Structure 1
Amino acid sequence: MRERFRPDNFEGMTDVISLSTKTNGSIPGRFRVASAWLLAVVAVFIAVLLYFAALLVTAQTTENAPLSYVVATLVALVCAIGLARLSVRLRGGHKTSRKWLTEGVCLTVSLLLAAGLSWTWFGAPATYTPLPDSPAVQYWDLPTGSRIGYTRTAGTVTHAEPVLLVHGGPGAPSTTNDEFAGRLAAAGFAVYTYQQVGAGQSSRLDPKDYTIDRHIADLEAIRQKLAAPKVVLIGSSWGGQLTAHYMAAHPDNVAKAVVASPGAMSSDSFSDGSLTPTGNSDQSGQFAKHTRFAATFFLAQVGGLRAARTLMPADTADGLYQQFVHSLNMSAGCPDTAEADRSADSTAGYSLWVNVATLASASKAADPRPALRHNSTPVLVLRAQCDYLRWEVTREYRDTFPQSTMLTIDGAGHTALADKPAETGAAVAAFLTGESLPAKPYIAAEAPW
């Protein structure tokens, strides 16, 4: 017989249904709670990311650091609170205390993290080493608006053309070429070691004014200051590149030129890079170690120079640049050669903003090679064995100038004039005076080592 319905049976069934509902509802409930807490954590990271986006965009557009930090903080505040409230709703909470607690935690953690990271990147000081004051330093006030610091090395001057040492970087004035300059002075030349605008003891400009054309104009103004119909240019690294561009713009104003470990003539010369494999490995490794410099350098390189200089003091940026360059192996072209220790002040006076801005300008400059192929100025090209730049970069100078001569320097790195001042000084002096060179010119297409 069918069992008659009884109230006590109904109560049992109700308990079973209730238990089943709670059990089945626990899965979506737990998922919702977990998602809510995950959103709260994600809110912190999104708020920090938007903080930096707002900080950089505002700094780039306004060049006002206080305003940039205010805008970035407001953006982070709105983001953190908004996502925190969404997290509370997702958990199904309606208690005011829960809402305020979640919002407070998200906001506090977001702002503390953003403030800590921005201080670590932009605010923390970095030791900057300026060039020491010296009574030997004199100044040219040029019609271009640049105030240029320089030193003059000379004995008995028997040659009319002044010699200008054009340093590398950009923004890396030489502090180690005194012996080399002295050897040229002993040969009868007046040697001027000048500090390009934006570096060393020379004047600083707004970064937008650091262009390759400005450096060319300064160099021409220096020639006119010296009242010299022609000058001798000796360019190292970037200085070799600047020398080439100057000669393309002023083909009749250079008596002779020397380029030592020169940088690539044109931005499209080597699309696959100008560094040797070991040079590239060394540079990449140092970028990984100097993450703060790397972040600043790449921010400036990709168009954020105004933001970078707005948020980071110049001395801090220059200090980071000095630390990075000091860590590089200038003899990385020889994998088995340990570089000699350099003094801490070997990068004194280095400046980052002029480096980034000038290189950006140079990358857009007209190719000088067509003009230089018809330039009859005698040019000495020095190739260092352990240079971290590829052989093809140096060879291009020899192959471009019709009146070029190449000599190789055994055991020297990228800073060949400082590494081997006796050898390079003798070779350059012989070239400038028309005497026999101390070695046979290198004419082969393949690398000499």
Structure 2
Amino acid sequence: MSRSTFTTHTVRVNGTQLAYTDEGEGCPVVLLHGHAYDRSMWDAQVRTLTRRGWRVIAPDLRGFGDSEVTPGIVYTEEIAADVLALLDHLGLGSVVLVGFSMAGQVALQILAEHPERVAALVVNDTVPRAEDAAGRRRRHTGADAIIAGGMAAYAEKVLASMILAENVERLPDVARAVREMIAASPAQGAAAAMRGRAERQDFTATLRAWDGPALVVVGEGDAFDGGAAEVMADLLPRGELAVVPRSGHTPNMENPADYDAALTRFLDGLA
């Protein structure tokens, strides 16, 4: 279950029930969580942004948190369609879209299909390329391991990659929150999303074509980045790059002060 401290709202879209946070008033910012996380990863940012006059929507994506699980395989396109249906339910046209890791790819899927729904884009610690054959095999093997071994074992295995290895000791509360969030994620949901990510499209052309405001954020020690953030910022015609110090793959939780400063500078620039 989601560990969010905010009120849980629910809606049925595309045959599944989604849970979501909806706080504040003003222009809408949509925060999309990563794989095996839930919307609680954004609680600090919900507080920051609502205080600064933004309306913040943060869903639990299909298969995670308090949302329903679809076993088998869930494609990036399906998760993107769920987000769009939620926005339709809320009567929202274009929004500031913030996607972390897996959901950075979901945000890019939305951008590719419906650029008119994206007022501004924030891509956070993600990779825009499609998987090659070896990557697809790794995803499917990883999904098999999740089903076989369970989420607690998966959480222990990936913790030192999801946050900076030194932060496991330096930030025990953050490490515990990340470990518990991943361990609480439904195994069938996590495996289905991992299989779907194996088949995602390449978003290089989408980035190159987007001429709206865009921010790429990455933790300086992100174990999964491999230079992807810099490439994305260069591809985006109006792309900005923010590197968050003393953080790995989850900078909004590892170093929320610097992460929020980068995000709010970008958002203030839109106003």
TM-score, scaled to structure 1: 0.53
The letter for the 2-side match of 1:201 is D
Residues 308 and 181 of structure 1: is their aligned pair in 2 closer, same or farther, counting only changes over 3 Å? closer
Residue 407 of structure 1 pairs with residue 242 of structure 2: yes
C-alpha offsets along residues 387-419 of structure 1, whole Å, 9 cap, x if unaligned? 112341212221222121112212122111112
Matched with 1:115 is none
Residues 225 and 435 of structure 1: is their aligned pair in 2 closer, same or farther, counting only changes over 3 Å? closer
Do the aligned partners of 2:161 and 2:248 also contact (CA within 8 Å) in 1? no
Do the aligned partners of 1:329 and 1:339 also contact (CA within 8 Å) in 2? no
d(CA) in 2 for partners of 1:234 and 1:304? 25
Higher radius of gyration, 1 or 2: 1
Matched with 2:233 is 398
Q: CA deviation at 1:345?
A: 2.7
- The structure with the largest strand share of the pair is 2
Matched with 1:141 is 12
The equivalences for 1:257-406 within 5 A come to: 257-268=121-132, 301-302=140-141, 317-326=150-159, 328=161, 330-332=163-165, 339-341=170-172, 342-343=175-176, 345-347=180-182, 349-406=184-241
TM-score, scaled to structure 2: 0.84
Counterpart secondary structure, 2:115: coil
Residue 188 of structure 1 pairs with residue 63 of structure 2: no
d(CA) in 2 for partners of 1:325 and 1:131? 19
d(CA) in 1 for partners of 2:40 and 2:118? 25
d(CA) in 2 for partners of 1:134 and 1:337? 23
Residue 165 of structure 1 pairs with residue 4 of structure 2: no
C-alpha offsets along residues 69-109 of structure 1, whole Å, 9 cap, x if unaligned? xxxxxxxxxxxxxxxxxxxxxxxxxxxxxxxxxxxxxxxxx
Counterpart secondary structure, 2:200: coil
The letter for the 1-side match of 2:157 is F
Matched with 1:280 is none
d(CA) in 2 for partners of 1:262 and 1:242? 10
The equivalences for 1:215-230 within 5 A come to: 215-230=79-94
Q: CA deviation at 1:330?
A: 1.5
Counterpart secondary structure, 2:209: coil
Residues 409 and 206 of structure 1: is their aligned pair in 2 closer, same or farther, counting only changes over 3 Å? closer
d(CA) in 2 for partners of 1:413 and 1:365? 24
Q: Which fold has the larger relative contact order, with Cα–Cα distance below 8 Å and residues 6 or more apart in sequence?
A: 2
Matched with 1:14 is none
The letter for the 2-side match of 1:168 is G
The letter for the 1-side match of 2:11 is W
Counterpart secondary structure, 1:164: strand
Do the aligned partners of 1:326 and 1:346 also contact (CA within 8 Å) in 2? no
Identity of aligned residues (%): 23
Matched with 1:251 is 115
Task: Please point out which of 417, 429, 449 is paired with 2:264.
Answer: 429
State the 4+ residue runs in structure 1 displaced beyond 6 angstroms: none
The letter for the 1-side match of 2:256 is P
Do the aligned partners of 2:5 and 2:40 also contact (CA within 8 Å) in 1? no
d(CA) in 2 for partners of 1:174 and 1:257? 18
d(CA) in 2 for partners of 1:260 and 1:240? 6
Corresponding pairs, count: 266
Q: CA deviation at 1:337?
A: 9.2
Residues 219 and 331 of structure 1: is their aligned pair in 2 closer, same or farther, counting only changes over 3 Å? same
d(CA) in 2 for partners of 1:331 and 1:133? 23
Residues 328 and 392 of structure 1: is their aligned pair in 2 closer, same or farther, counting only changes over 3 Å? closer
